[in-house]
Structure 1
Amino acid sequence: MKLKGKHVVLSFVLFIFGFLVAFSYQNTKEQAEVIQLSQQEWEKDFYYRQQLLQFEEQSRELQQKVDTYRQEINTFEKSLGEQETAIGEYVEMKGKLQMLTGELPITGPGVSVTLSDADYIPSTENTNQYIVHDRHVQLVINELYSAGAKAIAINGQRIYKDSYVTCVGPVISVDGNQYPAPFSIEAIGEQETLEVSLELKNGVIDMLVSDNVEVEVGTADQIAMGARVN
């Protein structure tokens, strides 16, 4: 009985030992699997982090390109704005030149000069010495242009660069259109400058008066002249 009892005890101890060994092996195996799974997760995490870093680098590069393009666009818009401003100035300048050449109507302040034949003509004198001639009108026109007149008209008819003024008997012909005295010469420009130029000592008015021409100078706040009709 004692021997059997020892065998039973020994068997029981061996069983317990085997169980512990098996449990320890299984536990060790499970722990190894957990460690291996964590390694895979770490590798995935590392891969995703690398991808994220690449994406961030690409994003920075794209942002730099966007900033460069934005700067180029701003430069282009500024250049375009300057071109539009320049074009606007050219258009404005062209319009002013067209007004001066008569291609467009023009309005503005200015002066008027009226030339009339002498009221009194002595019977013993030559009548031609007491009437207005084309040279008198041309004298006034030249002086007004020299003083900066932008546009000039005679009896409402505008004068152009190729206009001509001639005497036809007792009347004056302007580009073929005849007008009797008195002759009203209007000029658009700086009023004070035009007046001072006409009234200079020994100037145009003095010369006209010495030729027995009656002269009257006035100002106008608004003078309108039409465009040339082709």
Structure 2
Amino acid sequence: MSDHEERERAGHPGHGLRKELPEEVPATVPPPREEREEEQPRLTGRQRLVKGLWPPRLTRAQLIVALLLFGLGFGLAVQVASNSDGDSALRGARQEDLVRILDELDDRTQRLEDEKQGLEKQRDELENSSDQAEEARRQTVEKERQLGILAGTVAAQGPGIAMTIEDTKGTVEADMLLDAIQELRAAGAEAIQVNGVRVVAGTYLTDSGNGVSVDGNKINAPYRFKVIGKPQDLEPALNIPGGVVQTLEKERATVTVERSSKIVVDALRAAKRPDYARSSSR
């Protein structure tokens, strides 16, 4: 390096350094506050509140709570409106309409009371079901006994009459005995027995030689009838003018009718099962 250059560096110590640095950037001075306020419009308190609330920044929990509150409020509003409408409708109704509404309420109350009583009755029946079952069994046994008497499968006893027909001339025929049976049935006879043969609903009589056949069983005179029923009805029915007794006496037969407080009908019929008929009850 020459002496000239050394002198220049010594005489101007900051000249070379300044050339190597960049130029200084002038600092920017912010405008006064008044100018900034003039550039942006002034916001009111409501606008600042809206700007702070919108757009909303809600969490998931807050959103759920808001929906629940909305639903609760809506339900309360609908309930209040409904009650208000009902009250207003009643206040504006005529007297005839109010009377009709009261009558309908009374009818509904009566129906509910009837239903209550019906349920209580069913409850009592269920509680007494054991007693009712026993009563039903007793009635079933009694009904079976009565049907057995009518069918001739069960022996019977009770008040009635005893009728004897003496036929020494052999003039008594099957149709005369059948007339006697029908007359006794019409008078209320409940059980009939002729010479050891039980008479039932399907009984038939035919002439058989010197005697009569009852359901295929031949019987001979004297014909002895045992009849259970009310004696006060049975005897007069046989003795009416032109009735059974007078008809048999015209045929020179002798007829004797006696009342009795105890007649025993012990001739039985075997229970026959029908070949085709079946009960229609399910």
TM-score, normalisation: structure 1: 0.58
Q: Which has the higher contact order (CA 8 A, sep 6+)?
A: 1
Secondary structure of the corresponding residue to residue 153 of structure 2: coil
The answer to whether the 8 A contact 1:115-1:214 is kept is yes
CA–CA distance in structure 1, aligned partners of residues 248 and 206 of structure 2: 17
Amino acid at match of 2:166: S
- Do the aligned partners of residues 73 and 165 (structure 1) sit closer, same or farther apart at CA in structure 2, a change above 3 Å counting? same
Shift in CA distance, 78/154, structure 1 to aligned 2, threshold 3 Å: same
**Structure 2 equivalent of residue 132 of structure 1:** 172
Q: CA separation in 1, counterparts of 2:216 and 2:200? A: 13
- Pick aligned residue for 1:112 from 146, 159, 162: 162
Pick one of 173, 184, 207 that aligns with 2:224. 184
Structure 1: gaps of 5 or more residues: 1-70, 120-129
Rounded Cα–Cα distance in structure 2 between residues aligned with 1:151 and 1:80 = 35
> Residue 72 and residue 180 in structure 1: after superposition, are their counterparts in 2 closer, same or farther (change >3 A)?
closer
1:171 aligns with 2:200: no
The answer to whether the 8 A contact 2:150-2:191 is kept is yes
Q: Does 1:142 align with 2:182?
A: yes
SS at match of 1:144: helix
Once the two structures are superposed, the pairs formed by residues 187-226 of structure 1 within 5 Å of their partners are 187-220=227-260, 221-226=262-267
What corresponds to 1:49 in structure 2? none
Tell me which residue corresponds to 2:200.
160
Q: Distance in 2 between matches of 1:163 and 1:77?
A: 48
List, as ranges, runs of 4+ consecutive aligned residues in structure 1 with deviation greater than 3 Å. 71-75
Distance 1:135 1:78, change over 3 A: same
- Residue in 2 aligned with 1:44? none
Aligned-partner residue type, residue 185 of structure 1 = F
Q: How does 1:40-59 map to 2 (within 5 A)?
A: none
Aligned residue pair count:
151
CA–CA separation in structure 2 for the residues paired with 1:179 and 1:82: 48
Is the Cα–Cα contact under 8 Å of residues 116 and 132 in structure 1 kept in the other structure?
A: no
Q: Structure 1 residue aligned with 2:143, among 93, 116, 123?
A: 93
Q: Which amino acid is the alignment partner of residue 104 of structure 1?
A: V
| Contact 1:113-1:216 within 8 A present in 2 as well | yes
Task: Check conservation: 2:196, 2:267, Cα contact below 8 A.
Answer: no
Question: How well do the aligned residues superpose, as a CA RMSD in angstroms?
Answer: 2.5
- Which of structures 1 and 2 has the bigger CA Rg? 2
Q: CA deviation at 1:204?
A: 1.7
Structure 2 residue runs of 5 or longer lacking an equivalent are: 1-120, 272-282
Residue 79 of structure 1: CA displacement? 4.1
Residue-by-residue CA offset, 1:27-70 (whole Å, 9 max, x unaligned): xxxxxxxxxxxxxxxxxxxxxxxxxxxxxxxxxxxxxxxxxxxx
- Whether the 8 Å CA contact 2:193–2:265 is kept in 1: the answer is no
- Say which SS state the counterpart of residue 128 (structure 2) adopts: helix
Contact 1:106-1:226 within 8 A present in 2 as well? no
Q: CA deviation at 1:80?
A: 4.0
For 1:153, what is the secondary structure of its paired residue? strand
State the shift of 1:201 in Å.
2.2
SS at match of 1:173: strand
Partner amino acid for 1:229? A
Q: TM-score, normalised by structure 2?
A: 0.48
Identity among equivalent pairs (%): 31
Q: Are 2:270 and 1:229 equivalent residues in the alignment? A: yes
Partner of 1:23: none
Counterpart of 2:263, as a letter, is Q
